Amino acid sequence: MIDPDGAGPIALLTVRCEMGLGACGYTMVRFNDGALGSNQDARTTERAAAGMEVIVPRTKALAQSIHTWNGNVVPNLYNVFPKYNGAQNIFNWTGRCKGQPCTFWMTDNGNGDVACGGFEPNGDNNVNYRIYKWNEGCGIQGGWNDANNNVQYHGWVICSTNDC
């Protein structure tokens, strides 16, 4: 349990600390909120008050840890954005950690496809919005889409301090 604002109004958070994946430690929390709709911005504004942002899978090992901890389910969003409007394949995207570009892992696929059926990112995106999960059954890689300010799976989001 952590208290992100001391005696402030934010309730204690139950977190998962992953400290065995190399030089960095990771603090993760799953926020469950049935009022969260399909808008990405609704998830990020509220979580920033707790010092958290949408999680970035920095390595394959971290992606596996997140997937396992989340009941063998890939998160519904990653804090991974296109480098330019209309970017295709994941190599033209970047993670954002604490507002700065950071490395990320989403696939070992050499062509940059993270769709798990079809091809994504296919370019119907802009730099303001993250990649989001759009299907099930694709293991730790997940099946992702890049269609702007959307969230396919509602009601929860995994966040982190992304401070490694």
Residue pair 88/122 in contact by the 8 Å Cβ criterion:
yes
Report if pTM > 0.85. yes
Q: Of 64, 42, 45, nearest to 53 (Cα)?
A: 45
pLDDT score, position 4: 82
Greater confidence, 22 or 28? 28
Which homologous superfamily does the CATH classification assign to the domain defined by 16-160? Mannose-Binding Protein A, subunit A (3.10.100.10)
Where do the DSSP E strands lie in 23-110?
A: 26-32, 53-54, 80-82, 93-97, 100-102
Predicted local confidence at residue 101, as pLDDT: 96
pLDDT recorded at residue 83: 98
Cα angle value 71/11/159 (rounded, 5°): 40
- Which position has the higher pLDDT, 5 or 73? 73
Q: Is the pLDDT of residue 158 over 90?
A: yes
- pLDDT tens for residues 39-92? 898 888 778 888 899 999 999 999 999 999 999 999 999 999 999 999 999 999
Helix (H) and strand (E) counts for the chain?
A: 2, 9
- Say if residues 113 and 89 touch (Cβ distance below 8 Å): yes
The predicted model gives 29-34 an average pLDDT of 88
Return d(Cα 3, Cα 9) in angstroms, integer. 10
Q: pLDDT (tens digit, 9 = 90+) per residue, 104-153?
A: 999 999 999 999 888 999 999 999 999 999 998 899 999 999 999 999 99
